[in-house]
């Protein structure tokens, strides 16, 4: 049997600055995110520059990504899984705000691991300047994302931004204002997009380096995420000079009324924790709260094992470790990290 010719790309809109509008074209800060529909953003892209594929668009949400919620993640995972199951679809593109893009990318990386993402890409992109800007970066980022989604070498959950291609486990927003706002961690980006073509530095890992599942194995997340989900409550606390047990004590005091299943501590350096905070975390651990340590450092990963019963989060940043722990608990797994 010959290879299936995949001729469709699917563009899912979730909002963000890429869909933002300001009252003045020179204003790249005082705008309102999530105002323009994804179909309109697509329509504004010159057809001659798009890859040779039909592009369908669908508005999944319209939010400023600082307000991203689990309900949108659920809907997005469902739509990605739905479209990836279509043999004609080559890839899915998601427009998203930059503020929590790395979290959504990591969430999708984990929950789509068994849903065809080993063979097809899900590409997130966005913009640092609103659609109304004198020189918006969104259109070029969208074109680059379409190029990568149509590239037969692309697979896994990727972020395409500022001409670079990043993998979901490593990508991080590293600048609050510049258009080249994302970094790819210690190993750097997976590739670049140059004049309408992807230039790969290294191939994306098949199925991604998922913390929870191998490609095609583990829970059927899209089905599990259908309908209401009783999300575990996992909070992040930070270790710093002069840290106290207060935040953890406050969380534990509210446990009966608000629930508390896990805590990720954003530790210093190699995920070490101030003694006063660690004492409170150990108490939480003894009370059955699952506590993972991550590093608050912007790059690098935790190395070796510290002398503590609190496991490290396998090199994930605190925000990604929180997602991994929520999914880990949702899958009914115990307190240890796989």
Catalytic residues: 17
Q: Is 170 in the site for ligand SIN (CB under 6 A)?
A: no
Quote the CA–CA distance of 114 and 101 in Å, as a whole number. Answer: 21
Stretch that binds ligand SIN, among 13-21, 111-119, 240-248, 293-301 (CB under 6 A): 13-21
Q: Is 133 in the site for ligand SIN (CB under 6 A)?
A: no
C-alpha closest to that of 294 among 227, 225, 234: 234
Q: State the minimum distance, in angstroms, from the CB of residue 19 to ligand SIN.
A: 8
SS3 (DSSP) at 53:
coil
Q: State the minimum distance, in angstroms, from the CB of residue 128 to ligand SIN.
A: 5
Stretch that binds ligand SIN, among 79-87, 95-103, 253-261, 271-279 (CB under 6 A): 95-103
Count other Cβ atoms within 10 Å, centred on residue 31.
Answer: 18
Site string for ligand SIN, 174-193 (x = CB under 6 A): --------------------
Q: Is 13 in the site for ligand SIN (CB under 6 A)?
A: no
Q: What share of the chain is helix, strand, coil (3-state, %, to 5)?
A: 30, 20, 50
Q: Is 126 in the site for ligand SIN (CB under 6 A)?
A: yes
Q: Is 33 in the site for ligand SIN (CB under 6 A)?
A: yes
Helix (H) or strand (E) holding 20: none
C-alpha closest to that of 206 among 84, 90, 103, 121: 121
Q: Is 312 in the site for ligand SIN (CB under 6 A)?
A: no
Q: Is 97 in the site for ligand SIN (CB under 6 A)?
A: yes
- Which residue, 125 or 302, has its beta carbon nearer to ligand SIN? 125
Q: Is 99 in the site for ligand SIN (CB under 6 A)?
A: yes
Q: State the minimum distance, in angstroms, from the CB of residue 304 to ligand SIN.
A: 35
Q: Is 17 in the site for ligand SIN (CB under 6 A)?
A: yes
DSSP summary character for residue 21: B
Given CA atoms 181, 186, 189, 190 in this order, what sign does their dihedral have? negative
Site string for ligand SIN, 47-86 (x = CB under 6 A): -----------------xxx--------------------
Which CA distances in Å does 60 have to 77, 93, 218? 10, 12, 26
Instruction: Please state at what angle helix 318-330 crosses helix 101-111, rounded to 10 degrees.
Output: 30
Alpha-helical (H) ranges within 85-207 are 101-111, 138-150
Q: State the minimum distance, in angstroms, from the CB of residue 91 to ligand SIN.
A: 22
Q: Is 219 in the site for ligand SIN (CB under 6 A)?
A: no
**Long-range Cβ contacts of 283-287 (<8 Å, 24+ apart):** 283/248, 283/252, 284/248, 284/251, 284/252, 284/260, 285/309, 285/310, 285/335, 287/252, 287/255
Q: Is 136 in the site for ligand SIN (CB under 6 A)?
A: no
Q: Which residues bind ligand SIN (CB under 6 A)?
A: 15-17, 33, 64-66, 97-99, 126, 128
């Amino acid at each position: 049997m010959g290879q299936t010719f995949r001729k469709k790309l699917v563009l899912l809109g979730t909002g963000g600055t890429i869909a933002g509008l300001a009252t003045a074209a020179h204003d790249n800060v005082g705008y309102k995110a999530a105002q323009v529909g994804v179909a309109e953003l697509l329509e504004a892209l010159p057809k001659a520059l798009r890859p040779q594929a039909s592009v369908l668009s669908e508005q999944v949400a319209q939010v400023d990504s600082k307000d991203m919620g689990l309900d949108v993640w659920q809907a997005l995972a469902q739509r990605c899984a739905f479209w990836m199951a279509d043999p004609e679809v080559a890839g899915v593109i998601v427009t998203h705000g930059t503020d929590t893009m790395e979290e959504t990318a990591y969430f999708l990386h984990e929950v789509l691991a068994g849903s065809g993402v080993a063979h097809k890409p899900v590409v997130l992109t966005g913009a640092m300047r609103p659609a109304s800007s004198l020189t918006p970066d969104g259109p070029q980022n969208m074109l680059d994302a379409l190029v990568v989604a149509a590239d037969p070498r692309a697979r896994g959950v990727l972020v395409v931004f500022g001409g670079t291609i990043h993998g979901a486990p490593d990508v991080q927003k590293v600048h609050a204002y510049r258009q080249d706002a994302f970094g790819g961690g210690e190993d750097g980006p997976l590739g670049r997009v140059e004049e309408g073509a992807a230039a790969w530095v290294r191939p994306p890992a098949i199925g991604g380096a998922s913390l929870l599942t191998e490609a095609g194995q583990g829970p059927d997340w899209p089905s599990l995420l259908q309908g209401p989900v009783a999300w575990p409550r996992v909070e992040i606390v930070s270790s710093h000079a002069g840290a106290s047990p207060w935040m953890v004590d406050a969380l534990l005091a509210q446990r009966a009324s608000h629930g508390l299943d896990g805590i990720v501590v954003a530790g210093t350096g190699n995920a070490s924790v101030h003694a006063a905070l660690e004492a409170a975390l150990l108490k939480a651990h003894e009370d059955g709260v699952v506590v993972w340590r991550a590093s608050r450092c912007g790059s690098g990963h935790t190395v070796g094992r510290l002398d503590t019963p609190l496991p490290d989060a396998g090199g994930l940043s605190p925000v990604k470790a929180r997602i991994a722990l929520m999914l880990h608990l949702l899958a009914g797994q115990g307190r240890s990290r796989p």
